[in-house]
Amino acid sequence: MIRIGNASGFYGDRFAAVREMLTGGPLDVLTGDYLAELTMLILGRDRMKDPARGYARTFLRQLEETLGEAVDRGVKIVTNAGGLNPAGLADRVRELADRLGLDVAVAHVEGDDLLPRAAELGLGRPLTANAYLGAFGIAECLRAGADIVVTGRVTDASLVVGPAAARFGWARDDFDELAGAVAAGHVIECGAQATGGNYAFFTEHDVAAPGFPIAEVHADGSSVITKHEGTGGAVTVGTVTAQLLYEIGGARYLGPDVTARFDALTLADDGPDRVRISGARGEPPPPRLKVCLNRLGGYRNAVTFVLTGLDIEAKAALVRDQMERALKDRPPARIRWTLARTDRPDAATEQEASALLHCEVKDADAAVVGRAFSGAAVELALASYPGFHVTAPPSDASPYGVYEAAFVDASEVPHVAVLPDGTRVDIPPAPVTREPSDEPEPPLPEPPPSGQPTRRVPLGALFGARSGDKGGDANLGVWARSDDAWRWLAHTLTVAKLRSLLPETADLPVRRHVLPNLRALNFVIEGLLGEGVAAQARFDPQAKALGEWLRARHVDVPVGLLA
C-alpha cells in the first residue's frame, strides 16, 4: 500500500492544510492540486507582468512553514503548483531548502506548455496553451530519488497515479491498475469535497471543518479513501460517490495514460471514514491529448439595480429602456439583463421586499463598457424608478478570459522529466491507444410498479447531486441511496424531465449517462456556461449550485420511497 494524501484542491484552498496533513498522521506522499482552467488564465496574466512568475506562489509560502516537517517524516511532495513555470518553481524550492539548511532532492516535469508552438499546432494565438500530461514523468522523477516533484499542467489524477506507478512498478499497459489509481486520484483531487465538503446531505454529518482526504492505493489499483483520525468531516459511500461524479462525462473517463471505466467501479464501506474502491477496468488512452487554451475575450462590466416594493416588472422595464437609450450611439457588443425576483409581498424587512436587476455588458473596447456604461447607470440616480439604488457603484471595465479545449496528437507534445541531478528524460506517449467510442446505454433496472400513491416533495429529499463545469459545459451527477430509489430515478429522470425541471437547459444539447454500479446518472449540458468560467456568462458561472437547484425542484415521488 502507498498512502497518498491531498492538501489542496484549488489555488486558494485552506493554507494550513499542508501542515495539518503532515502532522495529522502517517503519509507516504502529499499532493497538492493548484490548477484549474481559470487558474491557468490567472497565471498567464501573472506571466505577462513578469516572465519569472507563472506558478502558484502560495505553495512556496506553505512549504516554508512545513518543509522541515516533510523531511523529518520522510513524506514526498508532488504538486502541479508549477503552473506555467515548473522549472522556475523548482528553482525557488531549491533556494528555500538551501536557506532552511535542508537536503532536499527536487525534480520537475515539463513539456505541457505549447504556447511557443501554438500557431504551428493550429491553436491560434492564445494567452496560454497547455496540454494535459500523464503520470509517468512524475513516476520517473520519484524513481530517481526526488523528494519533491513539481509539474505544470498534468491531469489532476496524475498526482496520485504517478507515485503509485513508481511504488508498484506499473507498466504502460497495466490499464486496470492505472484506472484504479485514476479513480482514487479523481476522488481526492478536490480536497475536502471527498470528506463532506459541498456534500448534498451535509446535515447528516459534522462538516464545519472537514479534514483532507487520503487514498490508500494498493498494487492491484484498488484503494481505500479515508482521512486522518480525529479530523472533521466524513468519508462515506455518499461523499465518495459525489466526488466520482464531479466534472465527468460518460462512463469512460479519458486520460493521457488510460481510459478508466467508471461504470465498473464498486464502492463498499470499509469501516468508519473508510470507503473501498475496487473493480476498476482500464482501456488504452485516446491518441490525442486535451489542451487547455485561454485567451483574452475583451472587457466586461456590470451593475445591479435594486427594485423595491410594488411594480417590480414595470420598474425593471423602465431602467432597462433608460440604459439602452443612453447606450444607443455605441451599444456594447453583448448586453444581458437578469431579473431575480427575490422580493416577497407584505415583507417584514426592506431587503425581503426587494428584487435584483442585473445588467452585464461585454465589448472589445474597454471604453464602451467602462466610463460610458458606468456613467449611464450613475446618471439615472435621480431620474428613474422610485427607490432607485444599486448594490455597488459601477466600476471601470475589467478584462475577461475565454476558455477553449483543443486536442493535439500525443506525439506532438514533449513530456520531459527533469531529474534531481538535472538529467532530462523524455517520456514517450502511450504506446497503445484507442479512439474513444460510445457504447450503448447499459440496461436499466426493472421499472418500479405503476399506480403507486405519490407525494410531491423536493427531489433532494431522496437524491444527492453534485455539479460543476468543463469549459462551457456543465456536468450534473445525481445518485440514489437505495436500490428502490435507483429504479425510480433511472426511469424518471430522463433528459426531457431534466429540461422541464431546469428550464435554462431546455434549448441546449443534453446527454445522459447511466452508471448503475454507482446508482447514478450523469448529465452533460452543453453550452450552459457560454465561454467558460472566466467569461462569467451565467449567474453561477461554474455550475457549482446547479445540482442543488435540481434537488430543490418538486416532483411526485412514490410514498413508499419516502418511508
Instruction: Examine the pLDDT at 439 and tell me if it is beyond 80.
Output: no
> Where residue 163 falls among pLDDT bands split at 50, 70, 90?
very high
Mean of pLDDT values over 416-435: 97
Tell me how far apart the alpha carbons of residues 154 and 340 are, in angstroms, rounded to a whole number: 40
Cell of 39: 487558474
CB 335 within 8 A of CB 301: no
Tell me how far apart the alpha carbons of residues 370 and 368 are, in angstroms, rounded to a whole number: 6
Mean of pLDDT values over 531-546: 83
So what's the pLDDT on residue 9? 97
So what's the pLDDT on residue 437? 84
**pLDDT tens string 326-377:** 999 999 999 999 999 999 999 999 999 999 999 999 999 999 999 999 999 9
Please state whether the predicted TM-score (pTM) of the whole model is above 0.85.
yes
Beta bridge partners of 457: 555
> Where residue 533 falls among pLDDT bands split at 50, 70, 90?
confident
So what's the pLDDT on residue 440? 81
What residues contact residue 543 under an 8 Å CB cut-off, 6+ apart?
467, 468, 469, 474, 475, 476, 525, 528, 529
- Residue 23 φ then ψ, to 5°: -100, -10
**Average pLDDT value for the chain:** 96
The number of residues in the chain equals 563
Any idea what DSSP says for residue 234?
-
Please state whether beta strands 148-150 and 106-110 pair in parallel, antiparallel, or not at all (unpaired). Answer: parallel
The runs of H, that is alpha helices, within 101-248 are: 136-143, 158-168, 175-188, 237-244
Instruction: Examine the pLDDT at 539 and tell me if it is beyond 90.
Output: no
CB 267 within 8 A of CB 187: no
Instruction: Examine the pLDDT at 532 and tell me if it is beyond 80.
Output: no
Instruction: Return the CATH architecture of domain 297-402.
Output: 2-Layer Sandwich (3.30)
CATH code 3.30.70 region(s) in the chain: 297-402
**pLDDT tens string 398-425:** 999 999 999 999 999 999 999 999 999 9
> Where residue 37 falls among pLDDT bands split at 50, 70, 90?
confident
Please state whether beta strands 259-261 and 454-458 pair in parallel, antiparallel, or not at all (unpaired). Answer: unpaired
3-state per-residue secondary structure call for 242-272: HHHCCCCCCCEECCCCCEEEHHHCEEEECCC
Tell me how far apart the alpha carbons of residues 275 and 278 are, in angstroms, rounded to a whole number: 10
**pLDDT tens string 55-99:** 999 999 999 999 999 999 999 999 999 999 999 999 999 999 999
What Cα–Cα distance (Å) separates residue 449 from each residue in 1, 366, 425, 479, 484? 46, 60, 61, 20, 10
What residues contact residue 298 under an 8 Å CB cut-off, 6+ apart?
333, 362, 363, 364, 399, 400
> Where residue 156 falls among pLDDT bands split at 50, 70, 90?
very high
So what's the pLDDT on residue 38? 83
Give 542-546's long-range contacts (Cβ < 8 A, gap of 24+).
542/468, 542/469, 543/467, 543/468, 543/469, 543/474, 543/475, 543/476, 544/198, 544/467, 544/468, 544/469, 545/467, 546/467, 546/474, 546/476, 546/502
Residue 401: other Cβ atoms inside 10 A? 25
**pLDDT tens string 443-464:** 999 999 988 999 999 999 999 9
So what's the pLDDT on residue 411? 97
Tell me how far apart the alpha carbons of residues 369 and 287 are, in angstroms, rounded to a whole number: 43
> Where residue 129 falls among pLDDT bands split at 50, 70, 90?
very high
Mean of pLDDT values over 502-529: 96
Largest Cα separation within the chain, whole Å, is: 74
Q: For the chain, report the end-to-end CA distance as a whole number of angstroms.
A: 41
Instruction: Examine the pLDDT at 394 and tell me if it is beyond 80.
Output: yes
Cell of 17: 492544510
Tell me how far apart the alpha carbons of residues 494 and 29 are, in angstroms, rounded to a whole number: 42
- Residue 102 φ then ψ, to 5°: -110, 140
**pLDDT tens string 235-254:** 999 999 999 999 999 999 99
